[in-house]
Structures are given as C-alpha cells and as structure tokens.
Structure 1
C-alpha cells in the first residue's frame, strides 16, 4: 500500500495528469466500447453477467491471470505470499502479479485496457473508482457481488458504499487504511507524561502539547504536504461538520466555516509553538523517529516502517476528536475487474474465483499493515492480537472517504492541497487560501461535469 511511503519518499504519487475523455455518441449511450487496435465491440453489461459465472468456480483449461497492483513496498511480500498460496490451491489458475508505483499505475491501466492489453484483475483505491468507472476502464460488479452473496453486512456500510458510483458497484473492498495518532513513548516519558495524558480530545491535545512545550519540545509538527497535513485537514474538516465537495460534484465546499476552523486549528499549533514553521516534506516523521516529535497524524501504512526502526518506542491511538464529531480520513484498496476484449471474456470466470478467494483471505493481508475489510476477519481472535491494527480498526464506524466524483482527485490536488500548503506555510490566511482554491476548484468541476456528467 505505497500510497504513502517511507520517510524521505512520502508524497502523493496518485496524480492523474492525463485524464481521457469518455467515448461519446450512441456507442457510449448504449454502453458499448470500441477497443483500440482490436476493433472489438463489447457490452459491459454482458461482461458483468459473464463474470458472475465465476462464483460457481472455474473448471476450464489452465490459464494465467494478470494481476496489477501498486504494492511496491512492504506490502508486496504479503501479497506475493497470498498469491503463491492461491496458485498452490488452484491447479488450473496461475496468478501473476505485476507491480508499479501508484502514480505510474493509474496512468498505465486505462491505456492498457483501451488497447486490449489490460490485466484480468487489479487493485484500485476507493477514491479512484469513480474516475475509472466513468472512463469504463473497470466493470460494474453488481452481478458478481450478488452471485457471491456479498453485501454491507460482510464489511461495513461505509466501506461497502465507497465502492459505488452512480448507483452501480465497481469495487470489492480488500482493506481500509485510516489515519491514526502515533505517539513517541520516549519523548513523552522524558517530559514526565504518562499514558493517562494521551490526547483524545481538543482539550487533551492542547494540554499535553503545552506541557511538552514547557520542556522545550515542539510536540506536534504540522506538515504543509498532503502526507500528512492534507489528510489531517480533511479529517478535521469532517470533524467540524464540513464536506469537501457537494454531492453532485458541481461545487467545492471545503471553504465553509468548518474548513476555515479546521485549517485555523492547524495554524494554531504552529502559532503557539507546538510545531516548527516551514516543516519540510517528511520532516514530521523523521523528527518522530529521531525522538524530537511526540505526536504525528499518519496512516496505518507507517506501522511496519516504525516497527522496523531499532530502539524507537511508540504507540498509536485513534485520532483525537478536535471538532464536534468523530471523523477520520481513510482510503481503501478495492479489487476490480478491468474491461476485457471480446476474445478474453472467458477469463472473467477465473478472475472472479481469484477475487472471491482473496477477499475471503483478507486476514492474512492484514499482516501487511492493513485493517481487513471483511468483518469476519476483523472480529477474529487472530486479528485482535494484531494490537496496532486493531486500534486503527476501532475507527471504522467514523472513517470518511472522499466523495465518489469522477476526476475529483486531480481537482483536489491542484486546488485544496495547494491551499493547505499555502496556509500552513503562513503565506495566506485560512479563509483567503480556501476561498481562492474553492473558486478554482469550481471551474475544474464544471469541466468535469462536461466530460463525465453529474455524479447523481
């Protein structure tokens, strides 16, 4: 899950600069796609029905399935072990995983699918499903999940709903990866602060940071980058009752009073001296590992990274509730079926066998530092023994995902992320930065509506 990477390389590799427009005219209206150089016409509804047949198992000739992911880091090994086990258990299906950095992956996948050379199965983040669905890069999975008997009760309502775009399902959640509050035990102990003072609320947070400041420690560094400042802002926005965008994808709403309040809180940490100014990329995490920073809002993807550093004493909690309600940013890896050329439709049955198997074995995937999406895995005794993952899992009732709006990731990256950066670097007041970004976002959203149509 290299969406956020190790200190020194963190960032947002999921920029999507090359958005392709939807096919137009009668073919698009009928749900038909002309597939690049092969010139084959495929009805995505027929493909979904064919894929549903995979729930009955695959008894055809031996074949290889191409599985594309962005698991280039510490999550690659656990997935490779899962695939090896699947291959041992299935004589007639061999899965071969290809990996690429997420930024490259999201540019490569649609081009490969359109040329008729895409993978059989892939992994997409929940916030990328809408764009991929609008481009018809991936298949609707309603028939598949019905055949597999899957529903919200097998996951959680929030996780399940995150896979829906315009009333149709496009993803089956494999995991959920939210932010958490990491704390450095050495820094706190040196300041005479025990576990009873660990922050759960705004009052707790300010009290412990003031105590740390009295001992000469700037205890909560605020990053101007998406990882982790931008994700912290989104969590705070939801905690203060705000939303990123309108439900129909027509308007930015992050410049609301809730947004101003959220960004103002981040600035308050700097202005009160709890964070240095001009925190560089990854400097908050590097300071944490060097026992110079007490707290960091960071993702579950850091569990294995921090756990591998000799001598680093740390723990994790749910993010504190700074606003009026509990909420935390999260994302989710989803299993998807890319559109296939007519000649490859028979492979869909085998693909569903693999997707179903992988979903049912998500407990083993948790060892990559994830919270498994399947409820039965999260409620197992084996998962509860994964102490830190289980703490992250406590937040599932309050996790929030970016809205299912096609092209929204690119809009956010070129507007909101820049506004947070500008404000945290004290170059603009929160209201000014967010207002300007919202106006720019509205123009981009209008362009999205012309390309993709309304979300609702």
Structure 2
C-alpha cells in the first residue's frame, strides 16, 4: 500500500494521500470512534464482510455519485467481488481484491513421494475420498516427522475449510434472506464438519495440536497446507523453498471456497467535502488499476484489466489460483456477520478439539445465531 500511495502521489500534483497505519485489532474501533466524533479519515479500508455493519452504523457513505464524477467504471471489476459491495442497489466501496482460502504444497516432498504429476501439480482424484486417499498415500512416503497436511486445530483456518466444504455441498448461508433467522442446512453443515474432523482423527493426516502450522509448512515439516493467499508473499521470501499454489481441491463436486475482500471506502465526514470525496475516489481508481502492486502480497486483484494484463500474468503463482475469484462464496450481507463468525468458530473449535459431536456443536451454533439475529 505504501508503494501504491507513493506512486499515486508522484503521478499528479493535485492530491496528496497520507497513509496512517493502525494495529489490525484496533482499526475498526478507531474508525467508528473517529467518524462518530467527526474526526474520521477521508478514505478508509473495509473488509467486504464488515461493510454491512459499517453501513448500518452510519460510518460509510454510498459512492455512486462521486464514482461517476471520478469516471469509475463498475464494469472493470470482477462481478463476484463487486456484488458483495452493493447494498440496496447502491455501491458502498471500491473492491481492491479478494483473498480466498487456497492450498499450498511442497514440491520436493510431493515429488519424492511420487505424488506430483508431470505438470508439477499434485495428483489428487476428485472428491473428498480422493483428497483423503492422496494425503493417506503420501503419509508413509514422507520423511520421519513430516506430516501430510498442516492445519491449526482451532480458529480461522479450519473454519475456512469447513465453510469451503459446506459451500461445495451447496449449503445455504447461515443467515436467512430477510436477516431475521438462521438458514443453516444442518445435514450439509454436519457432513462438512465431520469431513474436516476426519482429517485430524480418522485418517490422521494433520499433525495434532500444531502450535504453528505456518512454520511447519515453511520449514518443510508438512507436505500441504491450506490458508489464505496472503501467505504467498511469505513463502516467496523463504530461502530455497520450492512450493506450489492451487485452488483447494474439488471435495464435493466443485471448487467453491471461503474468501473475503479488501475494499476502499469513503467514511462519513463532518462536511462530506465534494472535492475530497472525488479525490479519494481518484485514488481508489488508481489503486485498483495498479492492482499488480497489491498482488505482490498474494491477493487476487478485483480489476479484470489488471488480471488480464501481461504484468500480472507474468507474476509467479498468482495465475495458478486467480480463477478462485469466481468461486469465492461471500457471506450473505448482514451487519451481524462478524459476531456470527465468532459464534461459528467458538463451537466449531469444539469439534476440531474432539470435545463435542458435530451435530451438537452445530445445534448450539444455530441457537446462538438465532439469539444474535433477534437482538
């Protein structure tokens, strides 16, 4: 982002953008507080999953009028990503990227285990059984102490794998269309949860209680891992690390997956100065049109022109998973998305830690989300 801002400021002399960095955990609190006090920034960032909450709180303004003045063409953006930024038929953000859940693999380990095809990609048969067969098949062929797969036992990443499996099964969003009740497809939710759990306890292809699964993969102690595309830059900076990246496998008939998106927003300001709003959108347009810089972090640019550019296509790894942008299943727009996700992770963790059967944990989730939506 520093590089994008620097390039923008040098590209013209009328507008200056200043970057204020905040701790990730404090950002939204300070944004809401600043806007409420009439001291908010002229431009900001929001995850698309957080956007409905910010809209309801009156933190974010709709941008259709100023986007037109800034000559922003909505047709230049990936429509799956763009649609997640539209509420009530109005645009509330300019999408910068999507950062989905994908799979990484250690090429040397898979090559030595005979599990890498001539195309340099893992030889995985379609379906959940095919994926488990692949991992189980390399288990005894890997060096001692090396796990077929690295994944944490709690928190975000097993939740993301569950969401991907649930979405591939055709599960409904957890929140109903009217936002007043739950709509979880319980049978599919249980099936997805038991699949993830089986990787820990049945096929035992994941190292149990791994304190740092990123480090396990990075140090060659795991053959594959799943996480967000933001890890690409980390692996690239790791000396002598020969890795590959790909969409998560077709587990249940397709390759749908979890993902979120960074978007550029215009917070509500005391005077809503028209010139500053147009200047902010001019920067947003520049940032998305130069998405190849942002893609260095691993993210998939939202701009279709950037994705189609030679510069982006020549970037290693990104082209191997750029197609995932169309397969991201964003959560239904709701101002309760983040607290709902906290509930999901709290009880899904009980499944991964083998404390609660999937059926019981998911019933707890359904009941708590119902209570949340009733508030």
Please confirm whether the aligned pair reaches a TM-score higher than 0.5, indicating the same fold: yes
**What secondary structure, in the 3-state scheme, does the structure 2 residue paired with 1:99 have?**
coil
Which string of whole-angstrom CA distances, capped at 9 and with x for unpartnered residues, describes residues 157-214 of structure 1? 2111010123322111011111111011232233232236433622431222121223
Question: 1:445 maps to what in 2?
Answer: 373
Question: 1:129 maps to what in 2?
Answer: 51
Q: How many residues align?
A: 366
Contact 1:200 1:319 in 2 (8 A): no
Match of 2:132 among 206, 209, 214: 206
Mark the runs of 5 or more structure 2 residues left unpaired by the alignment. Answer: none
Contact 1:237 1:254 in 2 (8 A): no
Mapping 1:349-360, distance limit 5 Å:
349-360=278-289
Given the alignment of the two structures, is residue 120 of structure 1 paired with residue 42 of structure 2, yes or no?
yes
**What secondary structure, in the 3-state scheme, does the structure 2 residue paired with 1:395 have?**
helix
Question: 2:355 maps to what in 1?
Answer: 427
Match of 1:274 among 205, 209, 234: 205
The structural deviation recorded for 1:148 is 4.5
* Alpha-carbon separation, structure 2, partners of 1:186 and 1:90: 47
**What secondary structure, in the 3-state scheme, does the structure 1 residue paired with 2:317 have?**
helix
Match of 1:245 among 175, 180, 183: 175
Contact 2:150 2:217 in 1 (8 A): no
The structural deviation recorded for 1:343 is 7.2
* Alpha-carbon separation, structure 1, partners of 2:55 and 2:215: 38
Question: 1:368 maps to what in 2?
Answer: 297
* Alpha-carbon separation, structure 2, partners of 1:85 and 1:146: 23
* Alpha-carbon separation, structure 1, partners of 2:311 and 2:92: 30
* Alpha-carbon separation, structure 2, partners of 1:407 and 1:153: 29
Contact 2:233 2:296 in 1 (8 A): no
Question: 1:308 maps to what in 2?
Answer: 237
Contact 1:128 1:409 in 2 (8 A): yes
User: Aligned-pair RMSD on alpha carbons?
Assistant: 1.9
**What secondary structure, in the 3-state scheme, does the structure 1 residue paired with 2:98 have?**
strand
Which string of whole-angstrom CA distances, capped at 9 and with x for unpartnered residues, describes residues 324-380 of structure 1? 333011111111101111274542232222222222222222223221111011011
Contact 2:232 2:297 in 1 (8 A): no
Match of 2:160 among 215, 231, 236: 231
Would the alpha carbon gap of residues 152 and 82 (structure 1) be closer, same or farther in structure 2, given more than 3 Å must change?
closer
Question: 2:329 maps to what in 1?
Answer: 400
The structural deviation recorded for 1:244 is 2.7
* Alpha-carbon separation, structure 1, partners of 2:76 and 2:344: 34
* Alpha-carbon separation, structure 1, partners of 2:341 and 2:110: 35
Contact 2:103 2:226 in 1 (8 A): yes
**What secondary structure, in the 3-state scheme, does the structure 2 residue paired with 1:412 have?**
helix
* Alpha-carbon separation, structure 2, partners of 1:102 and 1:200: 39
Given the alignment of the two structures, is residue 94 of structure 1 paired with residue 16 of structure 2, yes or no?
yes
Contact 1:241 1:325 in 2 (8 A): no
Contact 2:47 2:263 in 1 (8 A): yes
**What secondary structure, in the 3-state scheme, does the structure 1 residue paired with 2:109 have?**
helix
Question: 1:182 maps to what in 2?
Answer: 104
Would the alpha carbon gap of residues 343 and 106 (structure 1) be closer, same or farther in structure 2, given more than 3 Å must change?
closer
Contact 1:241 1:324 in 2 (8 A): no
* Alpha-carbon separation, structure 2, partners of 1:430 and 1:222: 19
Contact 1:171 1:336 in 2 (8 A): yes
Which string of whole-angstrom CA distances, capped at 9 and with x for unpartnered residues, describes residues 1-23 of structure 1? xxxxxxxxxxxxxxxxxxxxxxx
* Alpha-carbon separation, structure 2, partners of 1:228 and 1:273: 17
